[in-house]
Amino acid sequence: MAGVTLTDIHKSFGKNEVIHGIDCDIKDGEFIVILGPSGCGKSTLLRMIAGLEKISAGQVAIDGRVVNNMEPADRDVAMVFQNYALYPHMTVFNNMAYGLKIRRMPKAEIEERVHNAARILELTDLLERKPRQLSGGQRQRVAMGRCIVREPKVFLFDEPLSNLDAKLRVQMRLEIRKLHEDLNITSIYVTHDQVEAMTLGDRLIVMDEGSAAQIGSPLEVYERPATRFVAGFIGSPAMNFLEARISDDARCLALGSDDSLPLPDDAPAGRAGRDVILGIRPEHFEVTQQDKGLIQFTVNHVEILGADTLVYGHFGRRKIDLTLRLPDIHNFVKDTSLSLSVAPDKLHLFDPQTRQRITC
Ligand SMILES: Nc1ncnc2c1ncn2[C@@H]1O[C@H](COP(=O)(O)OP(=O)(O)OP(=O)(O)O)[C@@H](O)[C@H]1O
Ligand SMILES: [Mg+2]
């Protein structure tokens, strides 16, 4: 087991820099998720840690040793890919044993390691089958077994569940988490799926175009997103963003000419009279008695999900769109008026220029 330290990591392909300086101290036994949209550099960062991609500048250290110039095989990491690429002509046992055989490990030890991994992954009864005789989830477990038998210091996962159907993904997600709790091997897991990230990660690295927009626990990232990008990327349905202005006395936010919301006590007084981007998550609106709320909202249409209802509509003279997520079932017809309030501590403010969070 080992920690992984990334220090000012850069990557360029030719003249095109795609990773712009990432720092992160990953603790021994930690489960880190690299989350971000397609093309933001997740796989490139992971591949540099694995040694499959040259590091343009900066340092990767595993267990305190700089590995920049070390071959992948010497780094003591094991990687599970999206396309798990099992050898089709080999049994499950041989697929798992193959990497150990080419390292000339004694037969008895190979047997012990494979059986041990098979037990953990509940593959014991399937060891003599070929990959084509397995389900997608079972194949993915064999791919993980191949990594476990190597007893690496670090596990690297690149979107390992993206070939599986939705139900199996949920099941495998739980299995990966359980595996981590059992083995406690430092793990770095790439995904663009925020639910996977929130449920698996001890901490997330949220990437935005080659930079780490925020590094923090899932709750920190949800409750205090550091940038407008992170705020919009985490949460489903996405956060509502509104143009607003902090009043001259810094007590409230003006939303156009008709509506306003009170600001929390620790609101940034220095920004009185300034424009901001206001973020409100759909789940943080409350329906109050008519005329007691601060936003007069008009329903457009609803989607009843069972446990809760998504309500789409608008407010104000400029008919600004809002999405609400209300608990329980609501059969609002079109044009129903709702009076809404939001707790001041659920308001997120961002600078319209820098797009960084403004404290509060
Ligand atoms: N070998 C390469 N040569 C040139 N550019 C590359 C190469 N590999 C990746 N890139 C570019 O680097 C950027 C990051 O790619 P990367 O594969 O790391 O993204 P990603 O976040 O893993 O995306 P996805 O979610 O689609 O897998 C992209 O703009 C991509 O086009
Ligand atoms: Mg990728």
Q: Which ligand is nearest to the CA of 18?
A: 1
pLDDT per position as a tens digit, 97-117:
999 999 899 999 999 999 999
Alpha-carbon gap, residue 337 to 340, rounded angstroms = 10
Q: How far is the CA of 56 from the centre of ligand 1 (A)?
A: 15
Residue closest by Cα to atom 25 of ligand 1? 38
* pLDDT at site 87: 94
Mutate to test the pocket of ligand 1, among 10, 11, 13, 233 (most ligand atoms within 8 A of CB): 13
Under 8 Å between Cβ of 320 and 256: yes
Tell me if 4-233 shares its fold with 240-358.
Answer: no
Pocket of ligand 1 contains residue 11 by CB under 6 Å: no
Residue 329's pLDDT is what? Answer: 95
User: Looking at domain 240-358, which of 3.90.870.10, 3.40.50.1100, 2.40.110.10, 2.40.50.140 is its CATH number?
Assistant: 2.40.50.140
Distance 42 CA to ligand 2 centre (A): 6
- CATH number at 4-233: 3.40.50.300
Choose among 246, 256, 214, 243: nearest CA to 231: 214
Where are the domains positioned within the chain? 4-233, 240-358
Mean pLDDT by 10 residues, the chain (360 residues): 93 97 97 96 96 96 96 91 86 95 94 92 93 89 90 93 83 88 94 94 97 97 97 95 89 81 73 90 92 84 96 91 96 95 91 89
Question: Which residue puts its alpha carbon closest to atom 31 of ligand 1?
Answer: 39
Atom 28 (ligand 1): residue with closest C-alpha?
Answer: 39
Q: If you search the block for the tokens 């059986």, which residue do you land on? A: 115
State whether the beta carbon of 18 lies less than 6 angstroms from ligand 1: yes
Proportion of the chain in helix, strand, coil states, percent, rounded to 5: 30, 35, 35
DSSP for 289-321?
Answer: STTTSSEEEEEEEEEE-SSEEEEEEEETTTTEE
- Beta-sheet strand order (sheet of 285-288): 285-288, 337-342, 295-304, 308-315, 320-327
